[in-house]
Amino acid sequence: MRFMGEYIRGVVVKLHVTPEQEVMFKQNYGCTRKTHNELLNKYKAKYGDCNKIPTKNELNQFLNESKKELPYLKETESTSLQQARDDLHKAFKNSFKSKRHNPPKFHSKKKTRPSFRQTIRKDKRPVEKNTLTLRKHGEVTFSTSVEYLDLLNSPDTKFNNITVYYDGLNHYASFNIKTQPPEQLPLTEEHIGCDINSNKNGWLVTSEGQKEFFDVDHDNQMIKHINRLISKCRNMSRRWKKLQKRLQKWYNKRTNQLNDYIEKLTYNLVKKYDTIVFEENYSTIKILIGGEENMIFPLSRFIKRLKDKFQLYKPGADGVQFVKPHNTSRTCHHCGHINKELKVKKRNWKCPKCGKILDRDTNAAINILNRWFNGDGLIKYLN
Site for Zn ion in 82-121 (CB under 5 A): none
Cβ at position 366, least distance to Zn ion in Å:
12
Q: Which of 151, 177, 148 is nearest to 162 (CA)?
A: 177
CB 96 → Zn ion: shortest distance, Å? Answer: 54
Interaction of residue 335 with Zn ion, rule CB under 5 A: yes
Q: Least distance (Å) from Zn ion to the CB of residue 351?
A: 3
Site size toward Zn ion, by CB under 5 A: 7
Of 332, 364, 366, 368, which one interacts with Zn ion (CB under 5 A)?
Answer: 332
x/- site string to Zn ion, residues 118 to 147, per CB under 5 A?
------------------------------
Q: Does 334 bind Zn ion (CB under 5 A)?
A: yes
246 or 334: CB nearest Zn ion: 334
Please tell me the distance from the alpha carbon of residue 170 to that of residue 25, in angstroms, as a whole number: 11
Of the listed pieces 29-37, 98-106, 198-206, 351-359, which binds Zn ion according to CB under 5 A? Answer: 351-359
Residue 192 binds to Zn ion (criterion: CB under 5 A): no
Nearest to 53, CA basis, from 103, 3, 10: 103
Q: Which of 119, 161, 337, 342 binds Zn ion (CB under 5 A)?
A: 337
Q: Quick check: 354 binds Zn ion (CB under 5 A)?
A: yes
Query: Based on CB atoms, which residue is closest to Zn ion, 285 or 354?
Result: 354
For residues 95 and 101, the answer to whether their CB atoms sit within 8 Å is yes
Give the β-pairing of 211-212 and 378-379. unpaired
Q: From 366, 318, 348, 9, select the one nearest 157 (Cα to Cα).
A: 9
Give the strand pairing for 191-196 and 204-206: antiparallel
Indicate whether 351 belongs to the interface with Zn ion (CB under 5 A): yes
Tell the smallest beta-carbon distance from residue 341 to Zn ion (Å).
Answer: 14
Q: Which stretch binds Zn ion (CB under 5 A): 99-107, 154-162, 244-252, 354-362?
A: 354-362
* Span interacting with Zn ion, options 42-50, 67-75, 308-316, 330-338, rule CB under 5 A: 330-338
Q: How far is the CB of 209 from Zn ion (least distance, A)?
A: 17
State the nearest-atom distance from the C-beta of 276 to Zn ion, in Å: 25
Piece of the chain touching Zn ion by CB under 5 A; list 87-95, 217-225, 311-319, 326-334 = 326-334
Measured from the CB of residue 352, what is the shortest distance to Zn ion in angstroms? Answer: 8
Of residues 114 and 193, the one with the C-beta less far from Zn ion: 193
Stretch that binds Zn ion, among 127-135, 257-265, 294-302, 344-352 (CB under 5 A): 344-352
Query: C-beta of 243: minimal distance to Zn ion in Å?
Result: 57
Does residue number 358 form part of the binding site for Zn ion (CB under 5 A)? no
Write down the least CB distance from residue 358 to Zn ion, Å. 8
Kindly list the residues in this chain that would bind Zn ion in the complex (CB under 5 A): 332, 334-335, 337, 351, 353-354
